[in-house]
Structure 1
Amino acid sequence: MSSIMTNASAMTALQTLNTISKNMATTQSRISTGMRVGEAADNAAYWSIATTMRSDNKANSVVQDALGLGAGKIDTAYTGINDSIEVVDQIKEKVLLAKSASTEDRAKIQSEIKALQAHLTDSINAANYAGSNLLQTDSTDTINTKLSVISSYNRSAAGAVTTGTIEVTFAETRLIDSGADVGILDTTATTTGTGAVTQSILTLDVTAANLDDTDFNGLLTAVEAGLKKMATGAAALGAAKSRVDLQTNFVSKLSDAIERGVGQLVDADMNEESARLSALQVQQQLGIQALSIANSNSQNILSLFR
């Protein structure tokens, strides 16, 4: 039945055209933004997951910055303690040489030892990074007893957040004590020979009066004890350095993996969207043509009255 009051064909064509126009708007939005899920209305579940993971990735970015700062502090201390071990080894050699040297030669050897001791002090003072010097700390400070580097940001399924840390204890790496002189290099030891001197590695003096073999053995023992503790400190710094490097690499890969995962949820497939847009443009043209044909039916009715 043809009617001039109700054009069912035109109504159907218009509804189809409206649907096509809406789909085109959605596709154009995806192409312009590059995102399939840009807001909660697009897909609430995917949007929620993506928002949470993006937040976690921002936290991982902070962790990477913290690891970078911690790496600088640990690397600096590691370089400093390795240099100090080499210098103390040279001091040990000088003490051993002085044991069988004449008084005049001991004075010459002592001048070399003083130069090495000065170098120790200067290099340790210079092993400072961003205001932190792990080789020169205060043993009387009971609050700041270790370096803690944030290494991870962890969130449980229930939403509880914890952070991982990489720690270096100051007592293991303290070569010079700025508070009580109980660092590895400034701890004094008393020899039991005729000279009976009380010296540390930084104050060691082979020209002290009445030094005998027992005194020299005591000095060498003290130097060896210091070297052993320095080796322990270097090992602690080396282990921390290795952990920081590993964690930095892991967090970087984790951040990339999360970014890819989020992209799979919300990113638009540009090839697919481009093909869909082309198809919708054809559909739109056909819809307009169908609406035009439906509207022309009423004109055909007029011809019957001519």
Structure 2
Amino acid sequence: MTSILTNVAANSALQTLSTINNSLEETQGRVSSGYKVSEASDNVAYWSISTTMNSDNMALNAAADSLGVGAAKVDTAYAAMESAIDVVNEIKSKLVTATETSTDKVQIQLEIGKLQQQLTSIAKGASFSGENWMVSNGQTEGSVVDGFVRSTATTGAESVAVTTATYDIAGNALFSDEDATSGGILGTTGGVMSIELTDTTSQSDIAAFMTAVETALDGMTTAGGSLGALSTRIDLQTEYAGKLSDAIDEGVSRLVDADMEEESAKLSALQTQQQLAIQSLSIANSSSQNLMTLFQ
């Protein structure tokens, strides 16, 4: 039955065209944005995961940038410690020379005095971004940001934290005050700075000075090792942070990025379907006009 009030074919063709247009609009949006999940309404679960992981990735990248600052602090401290060890070794050689009874100990002391001044200069100059790990000056430890972590507690609640690596300034400082006039808290250079040769300095005194130098060298070597280990950790963490950031990017990409080959094929198919639907609607609308021939 043909009705002039209700065109069933036209209604069906119109619904089909509307559905195709909606799909075409969605596909065009994916092609233009590159995302298959660009907002929560597209896929709540994937959108929520990607939003959280993108936020964490930004924090991780910020922590990686902080690692660069930390590496500079460690490198500065290590360079100072290495230079200080060279100076103390030079002082040690001067003391060995002073054990010869015919040497002028006063002249040797002039050289040792200059080397002691060099030690203070090294320590006071080992500052980066306002921090000096060679002079404790009340500091107990130095810290370097090395990561950002998200964990789930036993209660099911999530927590986030910035992790740090630490260095024992109190135990490894060359000097304990900012004027670099007193030795480290654990005597890293305390005995070295007290060395003073005179014409009356005995062999036993020189032997005691040598012991102080060896004690200082042991402490400085330990401190240098701690700095070297911290530097290695920073390098490893920097490499890991880069890999982790890439892995997060790839994981989020799998969740929300559009497959451009698939979307391109779908777009072409939908455009063809749209043209056919328009043609079908045109045919359905023209069918009612054919009724006019019945009244002629």
Moved over 4 A (4+): none
Partner of 1:137: helix, strand, or coil?
coil
Show the counterpart of 2:176: 177
Assess if the C-alpha contact under 8 Å between 1:85 and 1:230 holds in 2.
yes
User: Is 1:210 aligned with 2:200?
Assistant: yes
Matched letter for residue 270 of structure 2: L
Aligned residues: 288
User: Is 1:44 aligned with 2:30?
Assistant: no
Deviation at 1:203, TM superposition (A): 4.3
Match of 2:264 among 235, 256, 274: 274
Post-superposition Cα deviations, 1:152-197, rounded to whole Å, max 9, x if no partner, equal 222223312233221101123200111682414552xxxxxxxxxx
Matched letter for residue 84 of structure 1: A
User: Is 1:112 aligned with 2:111?
Assistant: yes
Deviation at 1:119, TM superposition (A): 2.1
Post-superposition Cα deviations, 1:191-245, rounded to whole Å, max 9, x if no partner, equal xxxxxxxxx3134222x24211111100000000000000110011111111111
Partner of 1:156: helix, strand, or coil?
strand
Deviation at 1:301, TM superposition (A): 1.4
Post-superposition Cα deviations, 1:48-103, rounded to whole Å, max 9, x if no partner, equal 00011111112112211221111111111011101111111111011110111435
Distance 2:134 2:287 in 1: 94
Q: For structure 1, which runs of at least 5 residues remain unmatched after alignment?
A: 188-199
Assess if the C-alpha contact under 8 Å between 2:105 and 2:199 holds in 1.
no
Partner of 1:151: helix, strand, or coil?
strand
Q: For structure 2, which runs of at least 5 residues remain unmatched after alignment?
A: none
Partner of 2:201: helix, strand, or coil?
coil
Show the counterpart of 1:192: none
User: Is 1:123 aligned with 2:122?
Assistant: yes
Show the counterpart of 1:248: 238
TM-score between both structures, scaled by the size of structure 1: 0.89
Distance 2:82 2:171 in 1: 14
TM-score between both structures, scaled by the size of structure 2: 0.92
Post-superposition Cα deviations, 1:131-164, rounded to whole Å, max 9, x if no partner, equal 11111122xx2xx410122222222233122332
Assess if the C-alpha contact under 8 Å between 1:185 and 1:202 holds in 2.
no
Matched letter for residue 145 of structure 1: T
Aligned 1:1-306 pairs, distance under 5 A? 1-102=1-102, 105-138=104-137, 141=138, 144-157=139-152, 158-178=157-177, 181-183=182-184, 184=187, 186-187=189-190, 200-206=191-197, 208-306=198-296
Which range moves more in the overlay, 218-227 or 267-276? 267-276
Which range moves more in the overlay, 152-161 or 251-260? 152-161
Distance 2:151 2:85 in 1: 44
Deviation at 1:297, TM superposition (A): 0.5
Distance 2:131 2:162 in 1: 22
Partner of 1:153: helix, strand, or coil?
strand
Partner of 2:165: helix, strand, or coil?
strand
Deviation at 1:115, TM superposition (A): 2.7
Distance 1:175 1:123 in 2: 9
Assess if the C-alpha contact under 8 Å between 2:17 and 2:277 holds in 1.
yes
Distance 1:167 1:291 in 2: 74
Residue identity (%): 46
Matched letter for residue 151 of structure 1: D
| Cα RMSD, aligned residues only | 1.6
Matched letter for residue 204 of structure 1: I
Matched letter for residue 149 of structure 2: N
Matched letter for residue 278 of structure 2: I
Deviation at 1:28, TM superposition (A): 1.0
Partner of 2:170: helix, strand, or coil?
helix
Distance 1:172 1:76 in 2: 18
Partner of 2:57: helix, strand, or coil?
helix
Deviation at 1:120, TM superposition (A): 1.9
Distance 1:10 1:27 in 2: 25
Assess if the C-alpha contact under 8 Å between 2:36 and 2:257 holds in 1.
yes
Which range moves more in the overlay, 28-37 or 60-69? 60-69
Partner of 2:163: helix, strand, or coil?
strand
Partner of 2:192: helix, strand, or coil?
coil
Distance 1:244 1:202 in 2: 33
